[in-house]
């Protein structure tokens, strides 16, 4: 992501003290632990002009759930302000009108797996597909209907790993049945989960994050 | 076996059952196509329709006590007796009193989730009353000694040939797997039952406050026969089913049919305003409406959860749920399966035994996005999880794990050490965290982003 943003002319700060947005604990119902970690996030990112994340899920946590987590808390104001400057990677490119500056080459049949939180929590529907369309040489193949969950769901995939694994198998199958060779996704969670499933079941498909895919296509 | 272990066992079994999954997928995807088509064919703007419905339901919830009293007053004026049941036991007692008064030996019942909730069939069995399900799907699961698989399509998991065999053994019917013939067999069987039953029991999809009416939607006509043939009609209705005006049906009937089964409107829609009136030649002689609370008032009093009482039981969230599609309806072991069930079951039946249902979701929000009355279902799962944690109903190892996680994440140095040891830590903790035998260990990258960043020049 850093490489692509640099390539498009942005300077990036990375605070090496940063850790996590707090979502795992929040989703597990442990709101005190979540608030502890999220408070740290708010402190560290308060001064940034813009925050770009390679995950729709983390972005949605900050945008949609920080207001709940910090309701009536001393950081309520600061936490709520973050939602206006945090962007999921593809969303940021669109917001900055940078999609037109994307080019590159990649050969093969490509499918895009939009993460549930990017699609349904953030409403990012068409943007990643528009970005992929800028890359020459690909054949973009999408399963019909709404994006279906890959089964990751954070701690869900630990707690109910058999259900989660079968969901990943089902989701990957929707792409491989179209003969997709590379599945591109915009969330590291989905990526890790589906990649593991592909390895476990020896499914012959490459799974890349949108940023990894663009780095390969643009040859950065 | 605890409900949690039962759920885990079943879900693992079904996760591995490819045939079962394909069968369910086939059944649901037929609906999917029809639902999508109907949303665009029938509504100029589906999203606006959802919001309009949610607004009416919000009005209802804000005025629930007075609307229910108005319903009681209006429907009573035409001879229906209204009974208020605070819980399952009261609802059961009311029914047994009615059955005793009418010396009822045989009951015919149409499809009703509220009767599932109060375990009506078991009640009849225990009191020596024969009860026959009149909805085709419900009849099938009753004959198979099973519970409904889905709140709208209870026999979704049964193939035509399985149903044929069931009818052959249980009803002595000739062997067939032709859908039309199977329906005819059920119809012939049921016609006798309508005539010979002492009480017809139904639910209701809506009750109309201003007009004192009960509304039932169905596709087989069995509901109409169930409530009109026997001399007594008893309807069990959840207190949240109220809508203000008859006119609101112009939105809710197509909304329910579209969302539930992809129909323009269901085949039979009955509006019932009371028992047989003087001068009328048909209809039941007596009619009772049992308004069932059974935990709803408690939900009503929790601000966050109040919207869940807008649910019209269309089943769309079950169909959309990738977890439901993977583990099937019976795994939930509750009358209400899928996302709606995972919100209300722990609330109705207690976090102690049922909180695992709220955790068995990837929070993909498909349920929320298809809900025709715009309920934030997935967010309510999060509220349940929080409540479970506050009530100390979450797992000990998980609590400890998350405390450690928060400790690690509160200091970058700690995280650095942990990420260096990442792979080994996973090996150590997976056997504790994972509840199955599979123990998946994700393939972690050898370098963290921080390491890569240190060697990177912009």
Is A27 within 8 Å of B361 when comparing Cβ atoms?
A: no
Q: Which residue has the higher pLDDT, B396 or B93?
A: B93
- pLDDT at residue B439, as a whole number: 53
Task: Give the integer Cα–Cα distance in Å for A93 and A1.
Answer: 11
Chain B residues with CB inside 8 Å of A165's CB?
15, 438, 440
Mean pLDDT of chain B: 94
Provide mean pLDDT across the span B46-62: 97
Task: Give the integer Cα–Cα distance in Å for A8 and A28.
Answer: 38
Q: What are the tens digits of pLDDT across the range B88-114?
A: 999 999 999 999 999 999 999 999 999
Task: Give the integer Cα–Cα distance in Å for B159 and B332.
Answer: 21
Distance (Å) from the C-alpha of residue B56 to the closest C-alpha of chain A?
A: 24
- Model confidence at B440: pLDDT above 70: no
- pLDDT at residue B443, as a whole number: 61
- Model confidence at B398: pLDDT above 90: no
- Model confidence at B145: pLDDT above 80: yes
Distance (Å) from the C-alpha of residue B444 to the closest C-alpha of chain A?
A: 8
Nearest to B296 by CA among B65, B59, B52: B65
Is A120 within 8 Å of B369 when comparing Cβ atoms?
A: yes
- Is some CB atom of chain B closer than 8 A to the CB atom of A120? yes
- Model confidence at B394: pLDDT above 90: no
- pLDDT at residue B207, as a whole number: 98
Chain A residues with CB inside 8 Å of B366's CB?
116, 120, 146, 148-149
- Model confidence at B426: pLDDT above 80: no
Provide mean pLDDT across the span B114-129: 97
Provide mean pLDDT across the span B323-349: 97
Provide mean pLDDT across the span B106-132: 98
Task: Give the integer Cα–Cα distance in Å for B350 and B3.
Answer: 12
Q: What are phi and psi of B434, to 5 degrees?
A: -70, 140
Instruction: Read off the pLDDT band of B432 (50, 70, 90).
Output: low
- Model confidence at B225: pLDDT above 70: yes
Provide mean pLDDT across the span B284-293: 98
CB proximity list for B261: less than 8 A, separation 6 or greater: B31, B34, B35, B152, B153, B219
- Model confidence at B444: pLDDT above 80: no
Is B402 within 8 Å of A28 when comparing Cβ atoms?
A: yes
What residue spans define the domains of chain B? 43-294, 402-454
Task: Give the integer Cα–Cα distance in Å for A50 and A60.
Answer: 15
Whats the size of chain B, residue-wise?
A: 458
- Residue B111's Cα: distance from chain center in Å? 12
What are the distances in angstroms from CA B31 to CA B22, B36, B120, B192, B339? 14, 9, 29, 32, 18
Would you identify the CATH topology of the domain B43-294?
Rossmann fold (3.40.50)
Q: B139, B191 in Cβ contact below 8 A?
A: no
- pLDDT at residue B404, as a whole number: 92
- pLDDT at residue B122, as a whole number: 97
DSSP string across B98-145: HHHHTT--EEEE---HHHHHTTHHHHHHHTT-EEEE-SHHHHHHHHTT
Distance (Å) from the C-alpha of residue B98 to the closest C-alpha of chain A?
A: 45
Provide mean pLDDT across the span B427-440: 62
- Is some CB atom of chain B closer than 8 A to the CB atom of A209? no
What do you get for the CA distance between the two ends of chain B, in Å? 58
Q: Which residue has the higher pLDDT, B450 or B337?
A: B337
Instruction: Read off the pLDDT band of B81 (50, 70, 90).
Output: very high
Chain A residues with CB inside 8 Å of B426's CB?
none
Q: B253, B216 in Cβ contact below 8 A?
A: no
Arch. (CATH architecture) of A101-218:
3-Layer(aba) Sandwich (3.40)
Instruction: Read off the pLDDT band of B349 (50, 70, 90).
Output: very high
Tell me: ipTM over 0.90.
yes
Which element (helix H / strand E) includes A208? strand A206-209
Chain B: residue nearest A18 by CA?
B412
Chain B residues with CB inside 8 Å of A117's CB?
363, 365
Predicted confidence pLDDT, tens digits, chain A (220 residues): 999 999 999 999 999 999 999 999 999 999 999 999 999 999 999 999 999 999 999 999 999 999 999 999 999 999 999 999 999 999 999 999 999 999 999 999 999 999 999 999 999 999 999 999 999 999 999 999 999 999 999 999 988 999 999 999 999 999 999 999 999 999 999 999 999 999 989 999 999 999 999 999 999 9
What residue spans define the domains of chain A? 2-93, 101-218
Instruction: Read off the pLDDT band of B449 (50, 70, 90).
Output: confident
Positive or negative, the CA dihedral A143, A149, A151, A152 is positive
User: How is the beta sheet containing A105-113 ordered, strand by strand?
Assistant: A136-140, A105-113, A182-185, A206-209
- Model confidence at B437: pLDDT above 60: no
């Amino acid at each position: 992501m850093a490489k692509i943003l640099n390539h498009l002319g942005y300077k990036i700060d990375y605070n090496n003290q940063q850790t996590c947005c707090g979502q795992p604990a929040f989703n597990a119902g442990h709101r005190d632990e979540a608030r502890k970690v999220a408070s740290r996030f708010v402190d560290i990112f308060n001064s940034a002009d813009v925050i770009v994340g390679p995950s729709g899920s983390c972005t949605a946590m900050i945008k949609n759930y920080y207001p709940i987590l910090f309701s009536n808390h001393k950081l309520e104001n600061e936490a709520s302000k973050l939602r206006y400057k945090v962007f999921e990677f593809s969303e940021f490119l669109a917001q900055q009108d940078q999609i037109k500056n994307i080019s590159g080459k990649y050969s093969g049949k490509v499918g895009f797996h939009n993460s549930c939180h990017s699609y349904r929590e953030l409403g990012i529907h068409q943007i990643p597909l528009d970005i992929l369309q800028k890359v020459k040489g690909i054949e973009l193949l999408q399963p019909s209907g709404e994006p279906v969950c890959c089964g990751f769901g954070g701690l869900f995939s630990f707690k109910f790993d058999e259900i989660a694994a079968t969901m990943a198998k089902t989701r990957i199958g929707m792409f491989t049945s179209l003969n997709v060779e590379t599945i591109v996704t915009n969330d590291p969670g989905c990526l890790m989960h589906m990649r593991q499933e592909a390895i476990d079941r020896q499914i012959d498909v490459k799974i890349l994050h949108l940023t990894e895919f663009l780095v390969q296509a643009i040859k950065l | 076996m605890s409900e949690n272990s039962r759920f885990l066992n079943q879900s693992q079994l079904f996760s591995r059952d490819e045939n079962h999954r394909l069968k369910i997928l086939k059944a649901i995807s037929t609906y999917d196509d029809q639902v999508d088509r109907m949303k665009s064919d029938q509504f100029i703007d589906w999203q606006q329709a959802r919001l309009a419905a949610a607004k009416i339901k919000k009005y209802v919830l804000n005025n629930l006590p007075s609307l229910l009293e108005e319903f009681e007053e209006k429907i009573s004026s035409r001879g229906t007796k209204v009974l208020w049941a605070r819980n399952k036991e009261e609802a059961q007692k009311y029914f047994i009193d009615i059955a005793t008064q009418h010396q009822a030996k045989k009951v015919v019942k149409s499809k009703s989730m509220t009767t599932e909730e109060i375990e009506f069939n078991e009640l009849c069995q225990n009191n020596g009353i024969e009860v026959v399900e009149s909805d085709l799907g419900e009849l099938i699961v009753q004959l198979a000694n099973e519970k409904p698989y889905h709140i709208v399509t209870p026999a979704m998991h049964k193939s035509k040939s399985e149903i044929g065999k069931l009818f052959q053994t249980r009803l002595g019917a000739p062997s067939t797997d032709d859908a039309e013939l199977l329906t005819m067999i059920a119809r012939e069987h049921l016609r006798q039952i309508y005539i010979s039953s002492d009480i017809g029991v139904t639910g209701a999809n809506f009750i109309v406050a201003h007009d004192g009416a009960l509304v039932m939607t169905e596709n087989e006509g069995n509901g109409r026969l169930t409530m009109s043939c026997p001399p007594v009609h008893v309807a069990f209705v959840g207190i949240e089913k109220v809508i203000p005006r008859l006119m609101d049906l112009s939105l809710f009937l197509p909304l329910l049919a579209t969302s539930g089964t992809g129909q323009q409107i269901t085949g039979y829609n009955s509006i019932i305003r009371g028992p047989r009136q003087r001068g009328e030649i048909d209809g039941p002689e007596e009619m009772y409406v049992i308004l069932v609370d059974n935990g709803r008032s408690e939900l009503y009093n929790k601000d966050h959860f109040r919207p869940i009482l807008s649910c019209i039981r269309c089943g769309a969230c079950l169909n959309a749920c990738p977890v439901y599609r993977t583990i099937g309806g019976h795994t939930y072991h509750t009358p209400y399966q899928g996302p709606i069930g995972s919100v209300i079951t722990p609330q109705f039946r207690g976090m102690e035994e049922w909180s695992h249902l709220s955790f068995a979701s990837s929070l993909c929000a498909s349920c929320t996005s298809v809900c025709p009355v715009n309920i934030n279902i997935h967010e309510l799962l999060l509220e349940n999880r929080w409540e479970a944690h506050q009530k100390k109903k979450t797992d000990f190892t998980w609590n400890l794990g998350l405390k450690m996680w928060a400790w690690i994440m509160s200091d970058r140095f700690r995280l650095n050490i942990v990420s260096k040891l990442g792979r080994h830590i996973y090996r150590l903790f997976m056997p504790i965290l994972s509840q199955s035998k599979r123990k998946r260990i994700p393939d972690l990258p050898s370098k963290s982003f921080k390491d890569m960043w240190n060697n990177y020049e912009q």
